[in-house]
Structures are given as structure tokens and as C-alpha cells.
Amino acid sequence: MHKVLIFTRNPFFVPALLIKATLEAIVNREDVELVGICIEKPTNFYQQIYRYLQIFLKRKIKSFFDSNQKHLYRVPLPFNLLRLAHRYNFQIFFPPEGKINHPGFINELKAEIKPTIALSYFCMQKFSPPLLEVFEHKANYHNGLLPKFRGLESTQWSVYHGEKETGFAFHKMTENFDEGPILIEGRVPMKPRARILDLEYEKAILATKYIPQLLNMLINNDPGKPQEGESQYFSQMDGLEIRKIADPSEHSSTELVRRLKAFDYLDINIDGNWHKITKLETISSSTKVQGKLHFRTSDGMIMRPARFNYLPRTMYQILNLVRQR
């Protein structure tokens, strides 16, 4: 009997879809059981609902002010993990200090739980050699095509680089992030109006269909295939840096729009003040520009923010005046 332990940062959205699909695949087998889900930090169902409402309202605000911001899919409702654990008889683990590599947690796994399969669904911590040694088989879900888009925000980077498709991979875990042999990979086309969450949803739904196959491959010790081709790794700092525009005049209008499309917002310094910009517009050179919220790009275009934190410019300015009083 193989014992599966799932690792995730937060059982919401994509991890939730993968967890439910894994449960469905396991209950139909007699040689595998889910012994637990390891979550980096304590969370409860009401926190999940709150986060769901935040995303729901944010999307409504975006689409209300801009019809081009409408999403193709709904964010799935969160599930009650505690009820799920009672129903399927598995444990919920919160490692000490939120560290999955904590020696005490590793010792508990070795002595008491004795899992044989590790599945990482958006667990943001690197598995240490001692933790990897606990398991006979270990696989990670990565939301990008490998090895070209290793690291974080793979979907965003694939959009930024103008790829015609994005994808996912289930790969074996090694000591280095996203470098293990590929077990399964899938691809989805870049739809013209698809948002980042839409692409994440499409990839996750496609990935859930392969989970029974993934379990078979792990149990049968399938070696997978080595990663080949151009490789790139994107860190959290890379994502922050590409969003930060200290001087918009150093960038072309095309580059700014390209970044905005991929990364949802830009932190732009305009006349000494930083603003979270979620939409830019080009102004005709013949248009009389009032106020300070505009700038000239390196290709000679005049641009100004049309949305600040998803709100129209006028509403944003009114709110700023109210705050200053």
C-alpha cells in the first residue's frame, strides 16, 4: 500500500482542483491511500471564503470599468478541507514554523506517517535532501513548460515572451527547483482575450485528467524524460523588478503595454510619485494634456494611466483627495 502526502502552500484554486482530482483517483484504487495534506501555514474555510470574495470582487470591479477585462472562467468555490479530511480519513499537517524541512516534522514523517509518495501542488519551499529521502517517489506540478519557464509566475512570463501556447508539467523532484525528469506535460493555446487566471484554470483542468496516469507512473517507478532545450529560471525578484518602472521614459510604449498584459499591474514612478497602474492609454500629440499624470516613452509616445489599482483615473483622484482631508 502506497501512502500519499500532498504538500501545498494554500489549498485554494489550482491546488484545490488538483487535490480533489487526486482524491477521486485514489478512492478508486486499493493500492494507494491519501494519508495527509501538508499546508505551510494554518488556514481555515472562512479564510478561503474571504480570499475567494476578494478575487470575485476584484474581477467584478475590473470588468465593470473595462469590458476587455472579463474572464472566461469563474474561480472555483473553495472547499472545506477539514470536512474533506474527516470524510476521506486523512490528516492535515502544519509543519513547525511553517517549514516543511523542519527536522521535527521530517522525524514525524519517518517514525509515524511513513509516506511513500510526495505530491507538491504549489508548495513554494524547496524539498531538502533529508525530506526527499523520506519518499520513494516525489512529483511536482509546475504551471509552465519545462525547461524554458522554470521558477515562479511561469504563465505570466510565457505571456510576456509572446508564446503561442502555455502549459504544465508533472516532474520528478530533485534538490533543485523544477529540474527533475518530466513525467507528464500538457499544453493549452494562448487565447487572445484570456487572462492569467483563465490560463491557469485551463491548465489545471487539463492536468487533473492526467493524475490517474501520474499515480501509475510513480508506482511503476517510471524514469520520465530528461528536460531538454533552452532553460530559464524566473525568481520572485524577477517578477517584482519587471513590474517596477522607475523611469517610464526609458521604455517604449509597446514594452509597457506588453508588461502590463502579462503581469496585470505596473508600479510606475510618475513625477516622483509611485502608482499601481493597471491600464495605460496613449494620448494624441494634438490633445491638450492637463495635470501631471502623463509621460513620454522612449519611442516618443505620450501615455497616461487609465486605471489605478483597477479604478478609473477620476475615481482614483477623488479617493486621493478624500484621503488627504
The domain made up of 2-234 is a member of CATH 3.40.50.10490: no
d(CA 312, CA 87): 47
- Domain 240-324 class in CATH: alpha beta
Tell me which DSSP letter residue 141 carries. E
Q: Same CATH fold, 240-324 and 2-234?
A: no
Average pLDDT, the chain: 91
Rounded distance between C-alpha atoms, residue 248 and residue 270, angstroms: 8
- Kindly tell me the burial class for residue 212, based on how many C-beta atoms sit within 10 Å of its own C-beta (0-12, 13-18, 19 or more): middle
Give tens-digit pLDDT for 67-109.
666 667 777 888 889 999 999 999 999 999 999 999 999 999 9
Paired sense of beta strands 165-172 and 182-189, if any: antiparallel
| Boundaries of every domain in the chain | 2-234, 240-324
- Closest by CA to 299, choosing from 257, 254, 247, is 254
Of the candidate ranges 68-77, 204-213, 269-278, the one whose mean pLDDT is the lowest: 68-77
Q: Which helix (H) or strand (E) holds 196?
A: helix 196-208
How far is it, in rounded angstroms, from Cα 109 to Cα 39?
14
Tell whether the model's pLDDT for residue 290 goes beyond 60: no
pLDDT at residue number 324: 62
- pLDDT at 161 > cutoff 70: yes
pTM metric for this prediction: 0.91
